[in-house]
Structure formats: structure tokens, C-alpha cells
Amino acid sequence: MAEKEKNPLGNVAVSKLMVKFAVPSIVAMLVGALYNIVDQLFIGQAVGTLGNAATNIAFPLSTSCLSLALLFGIGGASCFNLHMGRGDRETAAYYVGNAVFMLVFSGTALMLITQLFLTPLLLAFGSPQDVLPYAQEYVKITSFGFPFMLLTTGGGHLIRADGSPKMTMICNLSGAVINTVLDALFVIVLDMGMRGAAVATVIGQIFSGILVIRYLYRYKTVSLRRQHFRVRFVYVREVAAIGMASFFNQIAMMVVQIVLNNSLKHYGALSVYGEAIPLACAGIVMKVNQVFFSIVIGIGQGSQPIESFNYGAKKYERVREAYRLALFAGGSVSALSFLLFQLFPRQIMSLFGSGSESYYQFGISYFRVFLMFTCLNFLQPITATFFTSIGKAIKGVFLSLTRQILFLLPLIVALPLLFGIDGILYAGPIADFLAAVATIVMAGVEFHEMRKLSVLDSQ
């Protein structure tokens, strides 16, 4: 029996598959977000505003790790599922092996670059002088966990593509639990400050990475042998091409964050808030928003194997159903997040330690204004993942760049020239609205083309 006839991705009800794949994906993405937010919760309580600002300065490096993990993880998983949908099992195995090698290699390279150029990188990320020592202490340790972070995050997509989404969840969740427990011990009980939070993070990442390696030895749908892990450009190129949309989305976020940090530092110094308060508040808002965004991205990633397999098997109605269910779930999460950000910003800020009235004033404004169109933010990541899933990498890349690079980045630069630091806040909702419009247009065109393919295949 052909692979596409017996694989449950092509026959089980799409709604059941979405629950099976999306829930563990959401948990896995949330764990990645919680790694950062848990550190900041403990650091905010134990170190204060400067510690919060330091974690924000360090965050572009975490984004770099995530971008590389998605490049090779989602790219490898999508290529694997597309070829499995076509019944080409032997070729599919090479995409997994090459993706794993590139995850470890790129994580090690990023770790070495960070160790060699630590201070110049942190200054380029917008660190004020009073925040720099805290950021140096934190990143110098956390960078040793980069290879394991990439292997856990990227390898989780490969494990999910093998039909084991619960194992992906276990790999990520176990490391997060270890990180949280050790954060409490090192930061609060032993009073180790930034160093304690960093050590806790690395230990959790190493444990999760070991679980991923253990699973790869027992891959279910194909047998992974030594030759599958030997780098071949033809496979790496295709993996990178398919994963490029998710990669560029994260890189775009990193570039915007670096520009944003420097803008907050510059215009904050010209305002009543000073340099540290805007950086600390922006870091909190961004990481809280990342929790919401992680749920949406997890929903999109849960639909990826369903969309990839059925598009490869030419079952286009199942592709459309998976996309519609992802949009419904993402829209529901977005609506709830919008209400939380608008109604309870001060309470959320208070979780990360106390501060002056200026600190709360800026943080509340950042939540309510910058995230005003959170209710629309589910459209772009889910649709970009959809384009990636069906092998249309260029469209996915373009859509990934719309909000961050095409819209938000120019607005962050231009609007503060007219409105000062408040201009940075206005840039968020304008970019979100424009990105939503672009997404709706591109998705409409693609599904019109898919309907034509359905008609041709039925003739």
C-alpha cells in the first residue's frame, strides 16, 4: 500500500490531527518563551530594573538561536513530510539527518561567535553602560547552551514530523521545569543573581537536548543511518529554502529589536523616563507578547505536517480545512490576549518586580498602544507557515518580512522624529494593521489557485 494511502495524515479527521499536533507544538513553543520569561521574573524580583533591561539586551541572541532552529527544524520537517506524502521514504531520511547536523553545527558556531565578540555585540544591541555588566554576566554563560537550545527546538519539529508530537512536548517541557526549579534555587535561595539564572537555563537546555538525541536513535517512520547525517548540499539547500520563511521572520524580529533597543535608549534619554526604564519595560512587554505569539506559532506549526502531507498527496480540501482551523484557534487566542493587554497591563508589569511610577506609566502605555492590534497578529505567522508547508518558500519569506521589515522597522525610525519616544509606541499598531491586509490578500490569491488545481485533478 502506498505511503500516502496508509499514513494517518491523509485519512484521519483534520480536527483530530490538529489537536494531536497543535497542542504539543503550542506547549513546545510556550516552553521556549517561558525559558526567557521565567528568567526575567526571577531576575526582576532579585536584581530589579537593570536586570530586566539586561535580559532585554541579551534577547536578540535568543532570537538568533530560534531563527536557526526554525530554519533547519521546520525546513527539515516540511521536506520530510512532503517526501513521505509522495511515498519517497529513503530520500525523506536524508532531510532529517542533514537538518540535525546543521542544527548542531550552527549552534556551536553561534556560541563561539558570542564568546569571542560578547561586549561589542551587547553594545550593538543597545546596552547602556550601567546595564552592560549584568548583560555580560548573563550571556557569557547562556551562550554555552546555544547548541542544545537549537537541537531541542529544531529537533522537536523533526520529532513531531515523525508522528511523535507528545515527545516534542516532553523534551521541551522537562528542560523548562528544570530551569524554573533551578532559577528559584540559584537566584532566590542562593542569591546568585544573573549568574544563577544563566546557569539554570543552560542545565535545562542540556537535559532537553539529550532527550532529543535519544529519540533520534529510535526514529519511527524511517531508519536513520550514519550516511543520512553526512552533509549534502542538495538536501541542506532545500531544507534551508523551505525553512527560510520562519528563519527570516525571526531574523526580522531580531533586527527590529536591535533598532528598537537603540531607539528606546536614545529617545528615552531625551525623555522623563531615562535610558533604563524604556528598555526594561519593552523587554517585559515583548516577552509577555511572545507567550501569546508562541501559542499562535504553535498552532501554525501544528498544522504544518497536515498541510505538507496532504498538499503533496493532492488532497487540497484537507489542506484548506487545516488552515481554517488554525485561523480559528489563532483568532480566539488573539482576542483573549488583546483583552488581557488592554485591561490588566499594570498587574502584568507588577509580576516582574516593582518600579517607580514612571516605570509603570511607560509600561502600561507600551502594552495598550504598541499591542493595540494584537487581535490581528495571528494572521501573518499562521499564513507564513502555511506557505512554507506547501513548499512555496518565496511567498512565505515575503510574508514573514512584511510586519517586521517592510512596515515596523521604517516606522520605528521615522515616527520618533515627529513624536519622540511615543512615536515608537504608534509604530506597532500601524505595522500590525498593514501586515494583516497583506496577509489576507496573499492568502486569498493562493486559495484561488488551489481551487483551480482541485478542478484540474478531478477531471
User: Is a pLDDT exceeding 50 seen at residue 67?
Assistant: yes
What percent of the chain has a predicted confidence (pLDDT) above 90?
31
User: Mean of the pLDDT values across residues 150-175?
Assistant: 84
C-beta of residue 111 within 8 angstroms of C-beta of residue 143: yes
Percent of the chain with pLDDT over 70: 96
Q: Residue by residue, what is the 3-state secondary structure of the chain? A: CCHHHHCHHHCCCHHHHHHHHHHHHHHHHHHHHHHHHHHHHHHHHHCCHHHHHHHHHHHHHHHHHHHHHHHHHHHHHHHHHHHHHCCCHHHHHHHHHHHHHHHHHHHHHHHHHHHHCHHHHHHHCCCCCCCHHHHHHHHHHHHHHHHHHHHHHHHHHHHHHCCCHHHHHHHHHHHHHHHHHHHHHHHHHCCCHHHHHHHHHHHHHHHHHHHHHHHHCCCCCCCCCHHHHCCCHHHHHHHHHHHHHHHHHHHHHHHHHHHHHHHHHHHHHCCCCCCHHHHHHHHHHHHHHHHHHHHHHHHHHHHHHHHHHHHHCCCHHHHHHHHHHHHHHHHHHHHHHHHHHHHCHHHHHHCCCCCCHHHHHHHHHHHHHHCCCHHHCCHHHHHHHHHHHCCCHHHHHHHHHHHHHHHHHHHHHHHHHHHCHHHHHHHHHHHHHHHHHHHHHHHHHHHHHHHHHHHHHHC
**Identity (one letter) of the amino acid at 230?**
R
Q: How confident is the model at residue 417 (pLDDT cuts 50, 70, 90)?
A: very high
Give residue 6's pLDDT band: very low, low, confident or very high (50, 70, 90): low
Cell of 326: 488554525
Give the phi and the psi of residue 219 in degrees, each rounded to 5.
-55, 135
C-alpha cell at 83: 517526501
Q: What is the pLDDT of residue 131?
A: 84
Distance of CA 257 to the CA centre of its chain: 14
Residue with grid cell 495571528, as numbered in its chain: 378
Q: Residue 240 has which C-alpha cell?
A: 534551508
Q: Flag the least confident range among 42-46, 345-349, 368-372, 409-413.
A: 42-46
Q: Are the C-beta atoms of 256 and 404 separated by less than 8 Å?
A: yes
pLDDT tier at 59, thresholds 50, 70, 90: confident
- Please answer whether residues 63 and 254 qualify as being in contact, where contact means their C-beta atoms are separated by less than 8 angstroms: yes
Contact 391, 78 (CB under 8 A): yes
Q: Please choose, from the candidates 123, 155, 142, 2, the residue with its C-alpha nearest in 3D space to the C-alpha of residue 63.
A: 142
Cβ atoms < 10 Å from Cβ of 457: 10
The set of cell numbers assigned to 338 is 488583546
Q: Measure Cα distances from 435 to 256, 288, 301, 327, 430 in Å.
A: 15, 21, 20, 15, 9
pTM of the model: 0.73
User: In the structure, what pLDDT confidence band is assigned to residue 457 with cuts at 50, 70 and 90?
Assistant: low
245 has a pLDDT exceeding 80:
no
Residues 255 and 409: beta-carbon distance below 8 Å: yes
106-138: pLDDT as tens digits? 999 999 999 999 999 999 888 888 888 988 999
CB 312 within 8 A of CB 4: yes
Cβ distance 139 to 118 under 8 Å?
yes
pLDDT surpasses 70 at 36: no
Give the number of other CB atoms < 10 A from CB of residue 109: 13
